[in-house]
Amino acid sequence: MTINQKSRIVAFDNYINGRWVKGKRNEVIESKNPANFNEVVGVVQSSSSEDVDHAVNSAKNALKQWQDTSAVQRGIYLNKAADIMENRLQEIAEIATKEMGKTIGETKGEVLRAATILRYYAQEGMNKVGDVIPSADSKNLLYTTRTPVGVVGVISPWNFPIAIPIWKIAPALIYGNTIVFKPATETAITAAKLVEVFDEAGLPAGVLNLVTGKGSIIGDYFLEHRGINAISFTGSNDIGKKVATAAINRGSKYQLEMGGKNPAIVLGDADLEVAAELVVNGAMKHTGQKCTATSKVFVQESIYEDFKSRVVDKLKSIKVGDGLEEGVYMGPLSSKNQQEIVLRYIEQGKLEGAALSYGGGIPIGEQYETGYYVEPTLFENVTNEMTIAREEIFGPVLCLIKIDSYEEAIRQANDTEFGLSAALFTRDLARSLDFINQIEVGMVKVNGETAGVEPQAPFGGMKQSSSHSREQGKAAIEFFTSIKTVTITPTP
């Protein structure tokens, strides 16, 4: 990292084979603050296919030595990284807020979550990786072990620029893989800060490599590179399908976490104050830029007006502004493009007949004129067939849908191409158990918000939300390793 002393702009090179090196194109990409688009946060390399080759070759060359390093020793590196990350909490969180826009409280939470994930997988280095199996021949020793998949390509999104890369990198490392990391361009400086942590922890050269650049320049080459044995991707459905196609064509593993259109169901017996609080948190925190964000709420008719009133009161109390300012609940959207997308969806909702109950525009005030802000927005009179009820908006927009019964809510909630997360608010235990069985999602919440899951638990969805593998927790071993079945027969 270098710092221009006059402008205080940080500049990062690629990180390849344990060294910070400039890209072959000798071009850089600016990262701007979405809360003030006149502020340049820093610059990163605009890489080429040659840089990708360099990174992949470095990861391949480091693979054998890293595989031969005991998992216990690998865990020591992860624990060191966790300590460093906690020590640099404020620094990393501030950069992430400046690059992506979410509040400093949210980015601090991400840093701490990342440190927890590192410690979790450090401990995994001491756990078993196979089983002894009874053999039909009592003289045989029959067992399983696991081997790393090899060089892993990590493609991470901009919305969680700390936690998501770490929950891919940490398990990949502990199970003996080497990595080529291509972060989203919008938050590439944050990604470089994460790599600095591993460099400071003494990770051997070539084990973790960072290549920054535009997907339009290096994206397809990265996906199709035959030196990459597996790709773990989080992002849009369109790009996810390209990742899967490229991986199938070259016979490598792939893991996809993509979009969501996550419903909450509020029944007549629910604690309405709790439900309203958690629905608003799920929809508006991180400015709605979460694949697990609450997008639509099916509300039983008997309590609809009461619930809506509580939601509106909570939306009115939301302070919108620069995520570094004290008391701000909701920062800007991540970019001008994201702001334009969200505003288009709001207009589409009005055109299709939904009633705008709150928000729906850009906040008024001088402080909002140089940022990508959108008000917290609530629609009612929404039907499940409307665009805003079916497509992922990825912004602070919430839809209310009135329903007659629990059964109708389940039917409509399952009528979607997505299947990531869902929540039910009720005091009825029987309904809760039925909901767990009937809802077609990978993550189920009862009396909780749709967003978030603990670091030690599997994360992932169904339908078009996922490739049906799981990240985090013990489930991560299934993607980052391959099983070997071993039979040893004694010679006479």
**Active site members:** 257, 291
Hey, is 445 helix, strand or coil?
strand
Q: Which residues of 208-247 are buried (b: 16+ CB within 10 A; e: fewer)?
A: bbbbbbebebbbebbbebebbbbbbbbbeeebbebbbebb
Residues pairing with 32 in the sheet: 40
Distance of CA 42 to the CA centre of its chain: 23
What is each CA distance from 412 to 16, 174, 251, 297, 439, in whole angstroms? 49, 42, 38, 11, 10
37, two tokens: 């688009």
Residue type, 126: M
Helix axes 163-174, 188-200, angle to 10 degrees: 40
The CA–CA distances, whole Å, from 13 to 96, 204, 234, 283 equal 18, 18, 23, 36
User: The tokens 């840089």 sit on which residue?
Assistant: 51
**Alpha-carbon gap, residue 142 to 202, rounded angstroms:** 38
Alpha helices in 101-138 (DSSP H): 104-124
The SS3 call for residue 203 is coil
Q: At what angle do helices 272-284 and 304-316 cross, to 10 degrees?
A: 50
Can you count the helices (H) and strands (E) in the chain?
15, 23
CA distances from 328 to 85, 102, 186, 287 (A): 24, 10, 22, 11
C-beta neighbour count of 21 within 10 angstroms? 14
Helix ranges (H only) for 380-484 are 387-390, 406-414, 429-438, 477-480
Residue 425 main-chain phi, psi, to 5 deg: -115, 115
Per-residue tokens: 126: 């001491």
